[in-house]
Amino acid sequence: MVSPVLLEVGSRSGRYGIHIEPGSAARVSALLDGAGVPRRRFLVSNPTVWRLHEQTFAGVTPEEPILIPDGERHKTLQTVGRIYDALIRAHADRASAIVAVGGGVLGDTAGFAAATYLRGIPHVQIPTTLLAQVDSAVGGKVGVNHAQGKNLIGAFHPPALVVVDPALLVTLPRREFRAGLYEVVKYGVIASRPLFDRVAASLAALFRRDPDALIPIVVESCRIKASVVEEDERETGRRRTLNFGHTVGHALEAVTKYRRFRHGEAVGYGMLRTTRRSWLGSCTSCCRRRSASAKSSRTSRRTSLPRRCARSACPGRRIFRLQADVTRSRAL
């Protein structure tokens, strides 16, 4: 029996809780009641998640679940329109709430519908991917993509509650799990060396979804995200650090039409690219010396940067080593 971890996040529209506990999804109704979520609840999910977890959520509401198509290419205003249609058909009013059950795509889309339907109704996030549990469900950013770019249409609409049940990740395909792990690595780099080292030391257990390995990294990631967004909800300062790897990552996603990379994978490559670029500026002379002597090699001619630093404390070296481990973990 693992005791629940409760975190609180301050936002302009009040405080909300993050409830982290394996098995919490099974008693979500009580948690919603406890958080004062309006009684008329509309569950939004997608067919993939619903097929796997319908049993867990079937009793949450007597209303028909609103199922929207799965996939980043459906994170559009058209899909938001389908949610509006279902809400209007059911006469949902201001005393109604949306309960989003799914990954980051689902949470962002359903959250945006909640932000805009009747000028805003409450929403609850129940993230079912690692990426959504450690990142997208926390912080109140909701939105959809536009043909011209990712997340171009959106709002800040903090949830009334976030319920994180790491046990839901058991059904997550390992590629999706690995993609989420890159966002955890991101927190390690920007905010917590112990978290980074913990991920590096427990990859096999994490991929087995071993709760002893998984829960601490989910909790620590949520803690970091909560602290960053509480300090800078509207992304005018510290919240920008969460975008580490994302400029390149979003560009990679866009040029490959959101089909080739999972979001976390694109961010993983983005972090590598950004680190390579900034490495020489921040590392001590060892990298620069190596770079100079390697300039004639084929690799460095291509990248104009050294492939590897000899200094064990070099941050660049640590990131590259972990990236190699995560990629290799395909075999685990």
- Supply the residues annotated as catalytic: 119, 141, 183, 225, 235, 239, 243, 246, 250, 263
Residue with smaller CB distance to ligand NAD, 56 or 275? 56
86 touches ligand NAD by CB under 6 A: no
Residue 70 binding ligand NAD, by CB under 6 A: yes
Torsion of CA 319, 267, 169, 31, to 10 degrees: 110
**CB closer to ligand NAD out of 168 and 213:** 168
Dist. CA 18–CA 161, nearest whole Å: 6
What's the CA gap between 283 and 130, in Å, rounded?
Answer: 32
SS3 at position 133 = helix
Please tell me what DSSP assigns to residue 111.
Answer: H
151 sits near ligand NAD (criterion: CB under 6 A)? yes
Whole-angstrom Cα distance, residue 88 to residue 181? 38
Q: Which of 172, 195, 217, 228 binds ligand NAD (CB under 6 A)?
A: 172
Q: Does 76 bind ligand NAD (CB under 6 A)?
A: no
Is position 11 an interface residue for ligand NAD (rule: CB under 6 A)? no
What is the per-residue DSSP string for 156-196?
A: E---SEEEE-GGGGGGS-HHHHHHHHHHHHHHHHHH-HHHH
40-45 and 96-102 beta bridge pairing: parallel
Q: How far is the CB of 48 from ligand NAD (least distance, A)?
A: 4
For residue 281, give Cα distances in angstroms to 274, 285, 308, 322: 12, 10, 15, 21
- Cα distance between residue 226 and residue 15, in whole Å: 11
Using CB under 6 A as the binding rule, whether residue 239 contacts ligand NAD is answered as no
Could you say whether residue 265 binds ligand NAD (CB under 6 A)?
Answer: no
Residue 267 or 305 with smaller CB distance to ligand NAD: 267
Q: Does 136 bind ligand NAD (CB under 6 A)?
A: yes
> Which run of H or of E encompasses 19?
strand 14-20
Among 48, 61, 96, 274, interactor with ligand NAD by CB under 6 A? 48
Q: How many residues bind ligand NAD (CB under 6 A)?
A: 31
Among the listed ranges 88-96, 126-134, 159-167, 291-299, the one in contact with ligand NAD (CB under 6 A) is 126-134
Closest to 161 (Cα-Cα) out of 26, 14, 40, 3: 14
Q: How far is the CB of 286 from ligand NAD (least distance, A)?
A: 34
Q: Of the ranges 86-94, 133-141, 210-218, 291-299, which one interacts with ligand NAD (CB under 6 A)? A: 133-141
H or E segment to which residue 142 belongs: strand 141-146
Stretch in the footprint of ligand NAD (CB under 6 A) among 26-34, 54-62, 127-135, 197-205:
127-135
Of 42-50, 80-88, 92-100, 201-209: span binding ligand NAD (CB under 6 A): 42-50
Q: Closer CB to ligand NAD, residue 314 or residue 326? A: 326
- Please give the helix or strand (H or E) that residue 9 lies within, else none: strand 5-11
Which positions from 179 to 198 touch ligand NAD by CB under 6 A, shown as an x/- string?
A: x-------------------
Cβ neighbours of 284 (radius 10 Å): 11
Q: How far apart are CA 294 and CA 101, in angstroms?
A: 50
| Residues contributing to the site for ligand NAD (CB under 6 A) | 46, 48-49, 52, 70, 72, 75, 102-106, 108, 128-129, 131-132, 135-136, 139, 141, 151, 168-169, 171-172, 176, 179, 262-264
